[in-house]
Structure 1
Amino acid sequence: MAPKVLVVLTSHDKLGNTGKPTGWYLPEFSHPYEVLAPHVKITVASPAGGEAPLDPASVEAFKNDPISTKFLKEKEELWKKTEKLESFLGKAGQFDAIFFVGGHGPMFDLAQDPTASKLINEFYAHNRIIAAVCHGPVALSHVKLPSGGYLIDGQRVTGFSNEEEDAVGLTSAVPFSLEDKLREASGGNYVKADKAWGEKVVVARGGRLITGQNPASATGVGKAIYDAIFGELTTADEK
């Protein structure tokens, strides 16, 4: 049987009080999907279930990206018919990995979603792979283990940087700084690329914790998930 990956999308479609639409970010699903889909069974969930909002800005920004345009044209059912996240509670053992797609939407719903937190704890308890890209790591940033410590305490992690948030003009639109929260929860172990928008994929916990900084890191996160599932683990904790 093929390994199974649970992909989690946001259900949130409004960007703070800006009046602009938001959601999940196209290449952060399409690129890992391109890497993983031939080898694993992918199930897609969201907090509310049903259609998960796709950020229209990401469609426009990646209209010349063949992987994203193909995905947009052929795989619509993946995000139009998501399963409700809570239906997977108690089922972490049936999956090899959980992957949180980014976009600004997760900053508003997945950041402190109790169901997501429980599910992440279950994946952790089963020693499964926990992965996220761009704003997706916000789903991990508030999670505490039964011991009371943060899930990512002492672990090298990355995610959308303050510099990148400033560059897109949305620092005032998000409820808090993702970089600052990841730095706090990891005990100062947040890392990022040398330059904004550069690729940065960080692999920690022996391949069981995978985070990517931004859209440019999406393919790398997909490859890191593949490597972790199929045993091709890197010896370093960072790529």
Structure 2
Amino acid sequence: MSESVIYNNLNFSIMKKRILFMVTSADVIGPKNRKTGSLLTELAHPYEAFKKQGYEIDIYSVKGGEAPIDLVELDDPINQAFLNDDGLIKMKNTKSIDNVSIDDYDAVFVPGGLGPVVDMTDNPPVQHLLASFYDSGKVVSAVCHGPVSLGNVKLKDGSYLVKGKHVTGFSAAEEAGYAKDDVPFELEDLLKERGADYSAVDPWQPHSITDGRLVTGQNPASAQGVAEKVIAILESAAVLESSKA
């Protein structure tokens, strides 16, 4: 879908941006089968931000079908908007990531929740998809536990995607009070082992980072910031494309 924009008194027709949400299919984790999925706040806040910007959003999951949601903070109005609009419908009817055509999208976003730790850490289709997005010059983003999907991604030159890049994700300090007994490793450690320049702020405070076309956020409070940074990149690119037309 295209739309007309005005830049420096010139009228340009540009394609509306499209965002791929890649979500977990895992609904339990750990030795006690703790219930999990994609964390609602980390779905809803970016979804509504992208939607407000006029972007088109598709949700694909690892296996396809109904994707689980960790229903926290139900009193949050943005979360309610997601559940009462088309967001929940899309989560109930996802397609498998095996069917994604990356040429259709400008950016990929991976929300957290504990689910990605289960089915995205060592998943070749997940790794291939994220590497293809990045190698194709597109934006890659993730929040909270979502960056586990990035840890083992290798680019076409053989290097880890996160190597030498400024990134964040759910910290060891946060995990200690949240799900340490449920997760098989610390996300913070994985990112550091892959050569990332990892940083974190105090537990549960917002913290999101842009490094080129890679955007990461530390925790649920960072989800909105990740979306805003992705939008900033895409809108800057749109203006640049228009100025060259």
* TM-score normalised per structure 2: 0.87
Name the larger-Rg structure.
Answer: 2
> What residue number does 2:83 align with?
72
1:190 counterpart letter in structure 2 = Y
Residues 102-181 of structure 1 mapped to structure 2, 5 A cutoff: 102-168=112-178, 170-181=179-190
Find the counterpart in structure 2 of residue 184 from structure 1: 193
Once residues 204 and 190 of structure 1 are traced to their aligned partners in structure 2, the CA distance between those partners, rounded to angstroms, is 12
Aligned-partner Cα distance in 2 for 1:227–1:153: 23
Q: What is the correspondence of 1:13-28 to structure 2 with a 5 Å cutoff?
A: 13-28=27-42
> Which structure 1 residue ranges, 5 or more long, are not aligned?
234-239
Question: How many pairs were matched up?
Answer: 222
Runs of 4+ in 1 over 2 A off after TM superposition: none
Work out which of the residue numbers 216, 230, 242 in structure 2 matches 1:225. Answer: 230
Q: Secondary structure at the match of 2:64?
A: coil
Contact 1:108 1:175 in 2 (8 A): no
- 1:58-83 superposed Cα distances (whole Å, 9 cap, x missing partner): 2xxx1221111221222321200111
Query: For residue 27 of structure 1, what is the amino acid of its counterpart?
Result: T
Q: Which has the higher strand share?
A: 2
Match of 2:207 in 1: 200
CA–CA distance in structure 1, aligned partners of residues 188 and 203 of structure 2:
13
Residue matched to 1:87: 99
Q: Post-superposition shift, 1:232?
A: 7.4
Q: 2:38 touches 2:113 (CA, 8 Å); kept in 1?
A: yes
C-alpha deviation, 1:188, in angstroms: 4.8
* Root-mean-square deviation (Å): 1.4
What does residue 5 of structure 1 align with? 19
Aligned to 2:62: 47
Contact 2:162 2:196 survives alignment (8 Å): no
